[in-house]
Amino acid sequence: MKTFCVISHTHWDREWYMPLELMRLRLIDLIDHCLDVLRDNPSYIFHLDAQTVVLEDYLSVCPDKRCVLESYIQRGQLVIGP
């Protein structure tokens, strides 16, 4: 039997194929969904591919979520560094 690992992650391109503001709307949906999954599954881990600008963009629109993000980062459920 083989074992494989799935690494839940994103590499976010802010303005690759859509303008920044449209991508930011998609980012909010992504992070909100991710926070729901992290809340409902304490063993789940999501990796942001060392892109802290993602958090800056998200918090510029949703500053009220800072404490929630920080708690998942501190618990190791939301990985922000290499």
Q: What is the pLDDT of residue 79?
A: 94
Q: What is the pLDDT of residues 40-81, one digit of tens each?
A: 999 999 999 888 889 999 999 999 999 999 999 999 999 997
This prediction has a pTM of: 0.86
Residues 14, 20 contacting (CB under 8 angstroms): yes
What is each CA distance from 73 to 18, 35, 45, 56, 81, in whole angstroms?
28, 11, 10, 14, 10
Could you give the 3-state DSSP secondary structure of residue 64?
Answer: helix
Which sequence spans correspond to the domains of the chain? Answer: 23-39+49-79
